[in-house]
Amino acid sequence: MAHVQDRNRHGFTLLELLVVIAIIVVLAGLLFPAVQSVLERAKKVQGKNDLTQIVTAVNAFYTEYGRYPTTVSGADATYGDGSTSSKALFDELRAKSGTLNTRLIVFISPPEDGSQASPKGKIGSDGQFHDPWSSVYAVRLDANYDNVVNNPYTDGSAGGDPNSSYDLRQGVIAWSLGKNGVLGGGGVEPGNANSYTGSGDVISWQ
C-alpha cells in the first residue's frame, strides 16, 4: 500500500499522461487548419503588396522615360508567364541594367536570394521576382501603346484585339498564380482552371 501512495504523491499515472497527450493531439488537429488558413491569407496580402509595387515601379519608369521598360514594340509584352523570363524587366527596374534605364534609377528593390532559383517572395538566382509560393510573378506591359492589354483569364495572349471587351484599360498589369502555381483555381485552390473567380490567384487590376 505504501508503494501506491508514493506513486500518487508523485503526480500522473501513465493513463492520465496518455489522456493529456490525446487531448493535445486533438486540439492541435483542430488548430492546424485555422493556422494554415491564416498563413495563406498572409501570403495573399504579401502577393498583393508585391504586385502593387511592380505596377508602381513600371509606371514610375514610364513617367521618367516616357516609355515602358521593354524592347518589345508593335505588340504588348508579357514577362514571367512561363515563356518569357522576367529577368530583363526586373534588371531594368532594379537598375541592374542600364540598357533602357539609362540613368540607373532604382524603381523597385525586392529582397533577393541568390542561393535559390525559386525563393518565396524574393528575387531568385534566375533574376525573376517570385511570389510567396515561389512561382514567378507575371507582368504585362502595353508595349504597343494603345492603352489596353489583354486579360490573361479571357485570352491568354498579349497584344490581341484592342476593341475586345476582354481587354483591360491598363498600361501595366501583374498577377500571381497563387498556391497551385497555375492560372486560375483547381488542385489545392478552390475554383476552376483558367478562371480568376473564386481561385487563389492574386491580381493587380481589381
Supply 175's cell numbers.
498577377
Which 3 state secondary structure label does DSSP give 22?
helix
**Euclidean distance between CA atoms 199 and 184, whole angstroms:** 6
Contact predicate 180/43, CB 8 Å:
no
- Residues in the interface with Ca ion (CB under 5 A) total 9
Binds Ca ion (CB under 5 A): choice among 77, 174, 177, 203? 177
- For residues 134 and 55, is the Cβ–Cβ distance under 8 A? no
Q: Does 194 bind Ca ion (CB under 5 A)?
A: no
Task: Establish if 201 lies at the interface with Ca ion (CB under 5 A).
Answer: yes
Task: Report whether 100 contacts 71 (CB < 8 A).
Answer: yes
**Binding residues for Ca ion restricted to 118-157, rule: CB under 5 A:** 142, 144, 146, 148
Whether the Cβ atoms of residue 68 and residue 171 lie closer than 8 Å to each other: yes
Q: How far is the CB of 78 from Ca ion (least distance, A)?
A: 11
Work out how close the CB of 13 gets to Ca ion at its nearest, in angstroms, rounded to a whole number: 51
Which CB sits closer to Ca ion, 53 or 151?
151
CB closer to Ca ion out of 127 and 159: 159
Q: Is 81 in the site for Ca ion (CB under 5 A)?
A: no
Residues that bind Ca ion (CB under 5 A): 76, 142, 144, 146, 148, 177-178, 180, 201
